[in-house]
């Protein structure tokens, strides 16, 4: 047998091959590889050594037929190009890998119909569980779960619902803290740029903004509320409109960092200096927020930790152990150089 043939032989070693080499039955090999108490420790050691020497690798497909588990988790993201989703997925993969699970990733492109198709496709592929990030159709999962046998955890769910299991940040408290930071600096004309799609996270962040203004005795003016689409272009457009007001804002709190980057671009295009002429606060603390010009003050979401927590919640559901239904994690205000006291307090 040539070296190439030996390598090919090793790669294709099966339980049948191991049984023949060990002079035992197929069932004995299967039990030994699983560490069954029905097999003596000496036999288990001998069979596992033969398997290792033969280059045996268990078949995931065959194992799933026996255990009814595939050791895979399906993850739905809005887009792999979304920096928030990328950080969350890193946390998901880290937690899954530590527990010997594989991750299958799919994009929804923020399209509700596509999101549902992907979730159903994952179920048909017999994944053990599904994590959906920034879901656009969270309210329908309660009905879906009544028909499915796959646990689903929503991460950063974008629509209020009676869904049983989710992981989110404490949007209200974090947004209140971000707005209070601007108030403490002396700003009185503080704008908010949100997400025009009516996401739950936007609603909660706007409520936190309003709560801080009310507590400080400041008026909530509709003209100081702008709407983007969560992207830099949306932030640019909304900020441009706000800057045309007779009394433009001296500070702005943005729905997310991408919106804040767009607001920075709009201000710079009009010759405004940040933070001298306009203070800007974002939300997320994406990796490159620290490298903006100037570095962006923002609310840090523990994105990787949120991904890890979603996996833990999913595995608790798979094991049938109790787990909290709606998990919320605190945000952290990271103060950098995009905020300062206003030149004039109006």
Domain total of the chain: 3
Q: What is the layout of strands, in order, in the sheet containing 102-107? A: 102-107, 72-77, 129-133, 152-155, 166-169, 326-329
pTM of the model: 0.77
| Residue 17 sits in the same domain as residue 47 | yes
One domain, residues 145 and 293:
no
Predicted pLDDT at 160: 55
- What is d(CA 207, CA 172) in angstroms, rounded to the nearest whole number? 6
Bigger pLDDT: 187 vs 14? 187
Percent of the chain at pLDDT above 90? 54
| Residue 122 pLDDT > 80 | yes
Closest CA to 195 of 78, 333, 289: 78
Q: Has residue 341 been placed in a domain?
A: no
In terms of domains, do 310 and 232 share one?
no
pLDDT at 199: 77
Using CA atoms, how far apart are residues 9 and 3, in angstroms rounded to an integer?
Answer: 10
Same domain? For 101 and 88 the reply is yes
Structure confidence by residue, pLDDT tens digits, 43-91: 989 988 888 888 777 655 455 444 456 789 999 998 888 889 999 999 9
Contact 207, 172 (CB under 8 A): yes
pLDDT for residue 67: 46
Q: Are residues 95 and 184 in the same domain?
A: no
One domain, residues 283 and 165: no
In sequence order, the 6+-apart residues with CB closer than 8 A to the CB of 16 are 26
Q: Is residue 339 part of a domain?
A: no
- Model confidence over 269-284: pLDDT tens digits? 999 999 999 999 999 9
Instruction: Answer yes or no: is 345 within a domain.
Output: no
In terms of domains, do 242 and 321 share one? Answer: no
Is there a single domain that holds both residue 310 and residue 297?
A: no
Whether 129 and 107 have beta carbons less than 8 Å apart is answered as no
pLDDT in tens, 190-236: 999 998 876 788 999 999 999 999 999 999 999 999 999 989 999 99
Query: Do both 46 and 190 map to the same domain?
Result: no
Judge whether residue 288 has pLDDT over 60: yes
Domain of residue 103: give its range. 69-169+303-329
Q: Can you give the pLDDT at residue 63? A: 52
Residue 73 lies in a domain: yes
43 in the same domain as 90: no
Q: 139 in a domain, yes or no?
A: yes
Could you give the CA distance from residue 224 to residue 73 in angstroms, rounded to a whole number?
43
Same structural domain for residues 179 and 163?
Answer: no
Here the CATH number for the domain that contains residue 278 is: 3.40.50.2300
Instruction: Assess whether pLDDT exceeds 80 at residue 333.
Output: yes
CATH for 38: 1.10.260.40
């Amino acid at each position: 047998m040539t070296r190439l043939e030996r390598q090919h032989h090793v790669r294709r070693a099966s339980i049948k091959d191991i049984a023949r080499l060990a002079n035992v039955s197929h069932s004995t090999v299967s039990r030994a590889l699983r560490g069954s108490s029905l097999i003596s420790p000496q036999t288990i050691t001998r069979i596992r050594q033969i398997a290792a020497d033969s280059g045996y690798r268990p078949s995931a497909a065959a194992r799933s037929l026996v255990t009814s588990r595939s050791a895979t988790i399906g993850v739905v993201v809005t887009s792999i190009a979304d920096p928030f989703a990328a950080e969350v997925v890193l946390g998901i993969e880290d937690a899954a890998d530590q527990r010997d699970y594989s991750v299958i990733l799919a994009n929804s492109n923020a399209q509700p119909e596509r999101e549902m198709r992907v979730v159903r496709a994952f179920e048909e592929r017999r994944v053990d569980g599904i994590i959906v990030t920034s879901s656009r159709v969270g309210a329908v999962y309660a009905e879906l779960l009544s028909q499915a046998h796959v646990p689903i955890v929503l991460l950063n769910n974008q629509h209020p619902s009676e869904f049983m299991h989710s992981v989110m940040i404490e949007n209200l408290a974090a947004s209140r803290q971000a707005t209070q930071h601007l108030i403490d600096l002396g700003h009185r004309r503080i704008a908010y740029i949100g997400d025009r799609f009516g996401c739950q996270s936007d609603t909660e962040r706007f409520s936190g903004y309003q709560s801080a203004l009310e507590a400080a005795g400041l008026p909530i003016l509709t003209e100081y509320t702008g709407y983007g689409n969560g992207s830099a272009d949306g932030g640019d457009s909304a900020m441009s409109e706000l800057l045309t007001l007779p009394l433009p804002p001296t500070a702005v709190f943005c729905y997310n960092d991408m919106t804040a980057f767009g607001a920075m671009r709009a201000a710079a295009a009009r010759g405004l200096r940040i933070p001298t002429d306009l203070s800007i606060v974002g939300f997320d603390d994406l990796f490159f927020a620290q490298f903006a010009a100037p570095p962006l003050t923002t609310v840090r979401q523990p994105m990787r930790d949120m991904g890890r927590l979603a996996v833990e919640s999913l595995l608790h559901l798979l094991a049938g152990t109790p787990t909290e239904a709606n998990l919320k994690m605190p945000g952290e205000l990271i103060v950098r150089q995009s905020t300062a006291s206003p030149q004039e307090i109006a």
